[in-house]
Amino acid sequence: MPVEKGQSLWSDAWRRLKKNRLAMLCLGLVVLFTLLAVYGEIVYQYHHAKDITPSYQMTNLDVAYEAPSTRHWMGTDGLGRDVMARLVQGVRIAYKVGIITSLIAIPIGVILGCLAGFFGGRVDDFIVWLYSTFASMPGLLFILAIAMVVPDNGLLGVYLGIGLTTWVGLCRLVRGEVLKHKEQNYVQAAKALGIGSGRIMFKHILPNILHVVIVTFTLRFPAAVGTEVIMSYLGIGVQGEPSWGLMIDSARMRLWQGMWWEMTFVTLALFLLVLAFNLLGDALRDALDPRLND
Amino acid sequence: MENLLTVEKLNVVYGKGKDCVHAVKDVTFHIKPGEIFGLVGESGCGKSSLGKAIIRLNVPTSGSMVFKGDDVSLLSGRELKEYRQEVQMVFQDPYGSLYPRMKVGSAIMDVLEVHRIGENTSERHARVAELFEAVGLEPDWAWRYPHEFSGGQRQRICIARALALNPELLVADEPVSALDVSVQAEILELLEDLRTQRQLAFLFVSHDLAVVRNICDRVAVMYNGEIVEMGDVVDVIDNPQHEYTRTLLAAVPAF
């Protein structure tokens, strides 16, 4: 008789994740940040569609450098703009960077990793050579170089710079996993049954290594956000929009005069976002590893 | 009766140059329709390599394999896919050869889809149910995951999946050696039934002489990549000619 109905990997992982309080707290934070990003996008699109200047862009020097109060919970910056409203826009930009760079980097990493692992031989040699070359270049310099040559010197440069350079780690991981799975009987059986290479790779092997992709996403997301902040801070990232990097850049000038609020809240938000994603990624990695079965 | 498969001077070599391994050396034999042909030998003697060459998971280095009049040793692409409708394989390990994330019925549906068998989903569903019945399983069980089944049941599922393409030859690579003795008997009985009902021929790879004697019509003894003795199973096992066959038989307490 068949044994009792077992649980799938995902429901099993969810059950384990739920037990981890810290992970659930981080998940809550991630959800909160996501909602803020969606809200920020709605506000942005609304003003964009109506062609009016949103309040977070409106200069009002009368209220410049106001400390946090009930009117401006996080105070105002040097041009009298509400820090909280700008912070929320910063979440929007951080998310855009995290998601779009992932949409560039993850498919490259997964597809190249699958091809290298599955076909081996010269395909593998070429792809290993390619990622070794990418990996040998200093990361930030490489990103800056790409961002510099992109004509529209704004977000597009950030997306491409980060997206095109951060697939290497994932590619290596996926290649290793595919190499491992390729020799397993279920893949041999699928081959013997006349199922094509593409179908075996993407329908049979890929779902088995999807957890690697998900964990990589949660870990590379905050890294991409951090890189964007650095780029914007250095002046080759976002321009004209309230990115966290630009906010930190403008806040640092007045920090020594005691205007602590802008710097504090922006770095706190960045800190929380990065921490939440990283801890959640770690917890997910544990939860999705069947070998760590309670 | 005409041969279903004729293998002549088949060689399989892994690697190149000094480090190459000559797994199968100049092997010649044939299988008739509806025949169970045993292949015995110790581990590492090349019997699995030969089985994999016949299903074309390996490419033979030289020699010919003629299946129903066509040489299949160097097929590729579309022709290879067509060949695989006629020759299928059942693996030793029923735990590893089922895809863990797919319901077993979906895995069979997948095969049917790839080979465009059945007009639509409901026809394919019906075919899956039919196959499950053919191997002695409840058709409803098709919508469960592999880990919900026992070893013997999984091996039945693997057989059902291999039968999905209506093959004429089934390469069974140690199909019962991972199973309990009582379950072994049931699976062997199933294979016998399939032979009589479907005129299915088998290449039955095994190291278990008792099982081979029980089920096979003819048998070949492989040693070090070569076939050292071949003939009717009763002759070979009761009256072995080659030194190695005698050693092999002496190692089994029952004989």
Residue B211 in tokens:
């099982």
Q: Which residue of A has its CA nearest to B154?
A: A2
- Amino acid A5: pLDDT: 45
CB contact under 8 A, B99 and A186: yes
ipTM value, please give it: 0.82
Contact with chain A for residue B149, Cβ under 8 A: yes
CA A124 to chain CA centroid, Å, is 27
Kindly report, residue by residue over B46-64, the tens digit of the pLDDT: 888 898 899 888 888 888 8
Contact with chain A for residue B131, Cβ under 8 A: no
Residue A10 with chain B: CB contacts under 8 Å = none
Mean pLDDT, rounded, for B77-94: 88
Q: How far is B110 from chain A (nearest CA, A)?
A: 8
Kindly report, residue by residue over A128-156, the tens digit of the pLDDT: 999 999 989 888 888 888 888 887 667 88
- The span from the CA of B64 to the CA of B70, in Å, is 10
Which of helix, strand or coil describes residue B87? strand
A283: closest CA among A10, A21, A5, A46? A21
Contact with chain B for residue A8, Cβ under 8 A: yes
Looking at residue A200, what DSSP letter applies?
I
Q: Looking at the DSSP assignment, which residues form a beta bridge with residue B31? A: B5
A185: closest CA among B152, B158, B8, B238? B158
Kindly report, residue by residue over B15-41, the tens digit of the pLDDT: 887 888 888 889 999 999 989 999 988
β pairing state of B169-173 and B87-90 = parallel
Contact with chain A for residue B101, Cβ under 8 A: yes
Amino acid (one-letter) located at B205:
V
Q: Could you tell me the sign of the dihedral formed by the alpha carbons of A119, A123, A127, A128, in that order?
A: positive
Amino acid (one-letter) located at B145:
Y
- The span from the CA of A89 to the CA of A66, in Å, is 20
- The span from the CA of A281 to the CA of A35, in Å, is 19
Nearest to A195 among B97, B111, B150 (CB): B111
Nearest to B84 among A184, A193, A208 (CB): A193
Q: How far is A292 from chain B (nearest CA, A)?
A: 18
pTM for the complete prediction?
0.79
Sheet holding B62-67, edge to edge: B21-31, B5-14, B62-67, B70-71
Kindly report, residue by residue over A271-291, the tens digit of the pLDDT: 999 999 999 988 888 887 766
Looking at residue A291, what DSSP letter applies?
G
Give the number of beta-carbon pairs within 8 Å between A and B: 73
Per-residue pLDDT at A164 exceeds 50 = yes
- Amino acid A4: pLDDT: 41
Longest dimension (CA), chain A: 79
Q: How far is A192 from chain B (nearest CA, A)?
A: 6
Q: Looking at the DSSP assignment, which residues form a beta bridge with residue B64? A: B8
Report whether A170 contacts A110 (CB < 8 A). Answer: yes
Contact with chain B for residue A10, Cβ under 8 A: no
Per-residue pLDDT at A185 exceeds 80 = yes
DSSP B205-236: EES-HHHHHHH-SEEEEEETTEEEEEEEHHHH
Q: How far is A205 from chain B (nearest CA, A)?
A: 9
Which of helix, strand or coil describes residue B21? strand
